[in-house]
Amino acid sequence: MSIIIQLPKSVANQIAAGEVIQRPSSIIKELIENSIDANSKNIKVIIKDAGKQSVTVIDDGVGMTKEDALKCFGRHSTSKLSKTEDLFKIKTMGFRGEALASIAAVSEIILKTKVESEKIGQQVVLRDSKIVEQKEISFQNGTSINAKNLFYNIPARRNFLKSNNLEIKYIIDEFIRCAIANPKISFSLINEEAEMYNFKSSNLKKRIISVFKKNYEKNLIECEEKYGAITINGFVGKPENTKKTRGEQFIYVNNRFIKSPYLNHAIINSYEGMIEEKKFPFYVLFVSINTDLIDVNIHPTKTEIKFEDEKLIYNLVKSTVKKSLEKFNISPSINFNADINFKENISFQIGSNENKIIQNNYSNKKKDWEKIFENVKVENSDKMLFENTSSIDNENKPVQFLENFIFKQVGEKLLIFNHKYCQQRILYEKFKNSNIKSFTNTQQNLFPQYIEFNQSDFKIIQEIIDDIKSIGFDIDFFGKNSVVVNGIPNGLDDINEKEMIESFVEEIKNNHSDIKSENRDLIIKSFSKKAKIVNNKSLSQVEMNLIIDRLFACKNSKYSPDGKQNYIELGIDKVENLF
């Protein structure tokens, strides 16, 4: 006796529908995508009871003829794909002909539609995936699809829906993803008869500003790159505007929103050394790629994507973002003379015998970095009042304030430096660029230091010992689970070898990525936070000027390795406002 039965069509439909339609937001995503594919200029979404009671999407797109209006709810009914080869050339949002069939399997539907070439519109009503009514109606060009009583026929699934607040949040997420990707289309969202969003047709930048807050205008850095058939464009947020929570990260491939931890990693990675750990920058990035090189067909909800060459895309995204961040940062454009002592083998020592060299170098360089500020526009016209005082500039002396801060007038601006962050940045770049094999910067210890580790920490030491050596530590294994430190990087003030090496191990332990090349960076970051070039108790003029010079010789002078601002600028207008 056979025990295998064929599932009734209605059950099979419901199972298939469950893959595409999990909640009201999935209906909204599918209907909006259909409206986008139909070349709509305006898309209006109306929800009731968080979409559980009713979802309506109204568009002014191409509409459907009577014949298509009757056909479109059939499984695998699509106007967008006709042969297998087309699967690999998908340009529309939809292509499987599954969405409407799935929505009709889990809700009651009223479709109203009209094509421009016809005088009269069509209305089709469905229940349990069956057409129960069809009539002619008068209707504007376009389509309106109303899906009611979601999961009325599958109570178990209905019970799985979350609270209204959460379901509305999911709806807003989908709505915003679509709105960002299609700035030319006007979008509105109406919840219980109140308008939540109304985005007018515009460009990407303006759309981002209207979706997020007005203050995003100042936060956006444009990215645009073309590599052969691949283009990457969009906006990323400035490093200082990162957030502790995720939610403002958007990657699209061929205008389709995707979730890609891999590409997310590429973007975060390009902020290396500029943002704090566990903080997330804002980004909206669009990757356009030849459809031969991707496969969007791997998941019915289509937020996953497979690239033929993942590594290539990773590197392209990373370098595009990096380039834009560098362009935004003022420091790389500073044209320092190549003779900056910092760049070459000069040690960090600020002992008295070196003061002369430093002073000479200082007077040469000072003019160069002051030039940066020459072109900074001062908006307040009252600057005329201060014109006479600008001759003080040349002899302008830095002033130390509360140990950690340095005040210095540069041009018509007052710069306030955070000494600690500046030192961290200088050390970070110094060691980041240092030659892995060079030990010229090591200063031998009078007494070797022995450090013992537990077994698991010692495993980490084995992994990173070469990286530690590469920044100037003379360190070697010594017996079981121990190391000996014979020398430390040159010219640093007060190093506690044991604390330092232990902090490296801690840093590696807390980092959950397995990417080995990041180890060295983590070590340098941890090192630059602990080491000091000079102690900030009492800084001499020479030391302060040197710190400022070295800071501006850095590739990224604006931020500490953790993304803290190294200095702030106060223009005349800001200072005047204080009174």
- Give contact residues for ligand ADP (rule: CB under 6 A): 30, 34-35, 38, 59, 61-64, 68, 72, 77-80, 94-101, 143
Rounded to 5°, the CA angle 87-93-95 comes to: 35
Position 65: which residue type?
T
* Coil, strand or helix at 312: helix
Q: What phi and psi values does residue 141 have, to the nearest 5 degrees?
A: -60, 135
Query: Residue with the closest Cβ to Mg ion?
Result: 94
Question: Would you count residue 64 as binding Mg ion (CB under 5 A)?
Answer: no
Applying CB under 5 A, does 57 fall inside the site for Mg ion?
A: no
Contact range with Mg ion by CB under 5 A, out of 20-28, 97-105, 232-240, 537-545? 97-105
Nearer to ligand ADP, 93 or 274 (CB): 93
**First vs last Cα of the chain: how many Å apart?**
95
- Pick 99 or 274: Cβ nearer Mg ion: 99
Stretch that binds Mg ion, among 89-97, 165-173, 316-324, 426-434 (CB under 5 A): 89-97
CB 7 to Mg ion: min, Å: 25
∠472-474-477 over CA atoms, to 5°? 135
CB-side neighbour CA atoms (13 Å) of 155: 0
CB of 97 to ligand ADP, least distance (A): 4
CA atoms within 13 A on the CB side of 414: 12
Buried/exposed code over 378-387 (b: 16+ C-beta within 10 A; e: otherwise): eebeeeeeee
Contacts of 86 (CB under 8 A, 6+ apart): 80, 95
Strand duo 186-191 + 42-48: pairing: parallel
User: What, of ligand ADP, Mg ion, none, does residue 54 touch, CB below 5 to 8 Å by kind?
Assistant: none
Residues in the chain: 579
143 or 442, CB closer to ligand ADP? 143
Q: What are phi and psi of 6, to 5 degrees?
A: -85, 125
Residue 567 contacts which entry, Mg ion, ligand ADP, none (Cβ below 5-8 A, type-dependent): none
The count of other CB atoms within 10 Å of the CB of residue 320 is: 26
- What are the C-alpha distances in Å from 543 to residues 355, 429, 488, 547, 565? 9, 18, 22, 6, 20
Shortest Cβ distance from residue 98 to Mg ion (Å)? 8
Rg (CA), the chain: 31
Closest approach of Cβ 140 to Mg ion, in Å?
A: 21
Q: Which is nearer to ligand ADP, 59 or 497 (CB)?
A: 59
* Residues 429 to 458 in contact with Mg ion, rule: CB under 5 A: none
**CB of residue 156 vs ligand ADP: minimum separation in angstroms?**
24
Contact flag: residue 553 with Mg ion (CB under 5 A): no
Residue 438 CB, nearest distance to Mg ion (Å)? 60
> CA–CA separation, 430 vs 435, rounded Å?
10
Report, in Å, the least distance between residue 556 CB and Mg ion.
Answer: 45
Residue whose Cβ sits closest to ligand ADP: 94
**DSSP SS3 for 386:** helix
The SS3 assignment for 184 reads coil
Main-chain dihedrals φ then ψ at residue 397, nearest 5 degrees? -110, 140
Query: CA-CA distance, 75 to 83, in Å (whole number)?
Result: 16
Q: Which is nearer to ligand ADP, 94 or 472 (CB)?
A: 94
Burial state string for 525-556 with b = 16 or more CB within 10 A and e = fewer than 16:
bbbbbbbbbbebeebeebbbbbbbbbbbbbeb
Q: How far is the CB of 284 from Mg ion (least distance, A)?
A: 23
Please pick, from the candidates 94, 234, 411, 563, the single residue that binds Mg ion as defined by CB under 5 A: 94
In the complex, least distance from residue 302 CB atom to Mg ion, rounded to whole angstroms? 10
Residue 61 binds what, of Mg ion, ligand ADP, none (CB under 5 to 8 Å, by partner type)? ligand ADP
At closest approach, how far in Å is the CB of 149 from ligand ADP? 20
Residue 294 in contact with residue 306, Cβ under 8 Å? yes
Q: How many CB atoms lie within 10 A of CB 132?
A: 11
Pairing assessment for the beta strands 474-477 and 482-489 based on DSSP bridges: antiparallel
Q: Which does 303 bind (CB under 5 to 8 A by kind): ligand ADP, Mg ion, none?
A: none
Stretch that binds Mg ion, among 26-34, 197-205, 443-451, 462-470 (CB under 5 A): 26-34
Give the Cα separation of 482 and 461 in Å (integer): 9
Helix (H) or strand (E) holding 399: strand 399-401
- Token pair for 447: 């007494």
Closest approach, Cβ 43 to ligand ADP, in A, equals: 9
d(CA 258, CA 93): 12
Closest separation in Å from C-beta 100 to ligand ADP = 3
β-bridge partners, 406: 400, 417
Nearer to ligand ADP, 40 or 442 (CB): 40
User: If binding is defined by CB under 5 A, does position 34 make contact with Mg ion?
Assistant: yes
- Please choose, out of 20-28, 29-37, 515-523, 543-551, the segment that lies near Mg ion by the rule CB under 5 A: 29-37
**The only residue of 69, 99, 221, 296 in contact with Mg ion, by rule CB under 5 A:** 99
Residue 366 binding target from Mg ion, ligand ADP, none, CB below 5 to 8 Å by type: none
CB of 505 to ligand ADP, least distance (A): 53
Q: Which partner in ligand ADP, Mg ion, none is near 78 (CB below 5 to 8 A by kind)?
A: ligand ADP
Which span (99-107, 301-309, 319-327, 393-401) binds Mg ion, by CB under 5 A? 99-107
Q: Residue 95 or 473: which CB sits closer to ligand ADP?
A: 95
72 binds, among Mg ion, ligand ADP, none (CB under 5 to 8 A by kind): ligand ADP
**CA distance readout (Å), 202 to 166, 179, 207:** 29, 11, 6
Using CB distances below 5 to 8 A depending on partner kind, what does residue 77 bind out of ligand ADP, Mg ion, none?
ligand ADP
Residue with smaller CB distance to ligand ADP, 95 or 307:
95
Give, as one character, the DSSP assignment of residue 271.
Answer: T
Residue 38 contact partner, candidates Mg ion, ligand ADP, none, CB within 5 to 8 A by sort of partner? ligand ADP
Binding site for Mg ion (CB under 5 A): 34, 94, 99
